[in-house]
Amino acid sequence: MIIKFVYILATVALGLVYLFLVIAAFSDSAASGLFMLIIGPVLLLIYLAFIRMTLEIYLAVVRMSEDIHQRLPR
């Protein structure tokens, strides 16, 4: 449940950062703005994939830890 919340939070944050970067690029020049419009979504998807993989690794570690604690003799 926390993983979903963190992923949604990261998606919203990356979306806001992308919007800010597009506005900043267009204020610099039209060419850099167009470049950011083309390259930005690709980079956004790559960052989201890395965040998702990292969160999945954290979840796997927590599940392994819970499984190990259940298997330990009491």
C-alpha to C-alpha distance for 12 and 27, rounded to whole angstroms: 23
Q: What is the pLDDT of residues 22-54, one digit of tens each?
A: 999 999 999 999 999 999 999 999 999 999 999
Report the pLDDT value the prediction gives residue 73, as an integer from 0 to 100: 79
What token pair was written down for 50?
A: 């890395």
Distances in whole angstroms, Cα of residue 11 to Cα of each of 6, 33, 40:
9, 21, 14
What token pair was written down for 40?
A: 């930005």
pTM of the model: 0.78
Report the pLDDT value the prediction gives residue 70, as an integer from 0 to 100: 84
Structural domain spans, the chain: 2-71
**Residue percentage of the chain with pLDDT more than 90:** 84
> What value does the mean pLDDT of the chain take?
93
6-21 burial, b at 16+ Cβ within 10 Å, e below that, comes to eeeebeeebeeebeeb
